[in-house]
């Protein structure tokens, strides 16, 4: 978008229509996501950490559990079953990825279990489906760990992880499962 000052109008905006469409899409998407998730219940929920997760040998507080929801309709769901999170690849920056251009070297993760469950059990159009919940412990400050706090316009408590992530704990989730059933499944690991 180019902004210029001219004598006829105070400002002239070239390319405003594509920007408006992107902003409108972002607004509508955030409203739909908040309605699906139920904004009053998006607080992170403390759970007992499964024994099968591998803890890094670092100081206390230097790592955190992150979640990633992948619906069966996602092209990378075949990797999720194997405990692998694979990005599409491409040149999108972290901010472009956040804005929806996921042709990047990053995958989206969250600290919020309910948000990850929502992504695992809904396709891109919001239609209920089955999917995978990936759980992994990450070292805070790792060069591949990008905390999007302050840039998280959708309220997803998002963390981007660069490159392929292996060693995730895959949990099968069906769209009809209750949150309590999913928690029980996680705790049973």
Whether residue 169 has pLDDT greater than 70: yes
Q: Read off the pLDDT of residues 55-89 as tens digits, 9 standing for 90 and up.
A: 566 565 688 899 999 999 999 999 999 999 999 99
pLDDT of amino acid 8: 40
User: Residue 135: in which H helix or E strand, if any?
Assistant: strand 131-139
pLDDT of amino acid 11: 36
- The chain-wide mean pLDDT, for the chain, equals 76
Query: Which of residues 4 and 53 earns the better pLDDT score?
Result: 53
pLDDT band at 38 (very low <50, low <70, confident <90, very high): very low
pLDDT of amino acid 51: 41
Mean pLDDT for 121-142 is: 92
Task: Tell me how far apart the alpha carbons of residues 53 and 169 are, in angstroms, rounded to a whole number.
Answer: 7
pLDDT of amino acid 91: 95
Task: Tell me how far apart the alpha carbons of residues 87 and 102 are, in angstroms, rounded to a whole number.
Answer: 8
Query: ∠ CA 120-54-159 to the nearest 5 degrees?
Result: 45
Residue with tokens 């955190």: 64
Query: Which of residues 159 and 12 earns the better pLDDT score?
Result: 159
Q: Where do the structural domains in the chain lie, given as residue ranges?
A: 2-37, 47-187
Q: Read off the pLDDT of residues 142-166 as tens digits, 9 standing for 90 and up.
A: 889 888 877 777 888 899 999 999 9
């Amino acid at each position: 978008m180019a902004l210029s000052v001219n004598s006829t109008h105070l400002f002239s905006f070239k390319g405003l229509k594509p920007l408006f469409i992107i902003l409108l899409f972002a607004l509508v998407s955030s409203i739909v996501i908040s309605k699906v998730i139920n904004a009053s219940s998006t607080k992170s929920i403390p759970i007992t950490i499964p024994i099968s997760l591998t803890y890094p040998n670092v100081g206390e507080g230097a790592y955190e559990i992150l979640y990633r929801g992948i619906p069966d309709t996602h092209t990378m769901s075949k990797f999720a079953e194997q405990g692998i999170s694979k990005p599409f690849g491409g040149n999108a920056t972290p901010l472009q990825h956040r804005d929806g251009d996921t042709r990047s070297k990053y995958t989206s993760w969250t600290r919020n279990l309910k948000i990850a469950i929502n992504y695992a059990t809904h396709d891109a159009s919001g239609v209920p489906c089955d999917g995978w919940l990936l759980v992994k412990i990450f070292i805070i400050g790792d060069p591949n760990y990008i905390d999007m706090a302050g840039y998280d316009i959708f309220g997803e408590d998002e963390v981007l992880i660069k490159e392929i992530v292996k060693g995730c704990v895959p949990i099968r989730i069906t769209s009809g499962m209750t949150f309590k059933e999913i928690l029980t499944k996680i705790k049973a690991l």
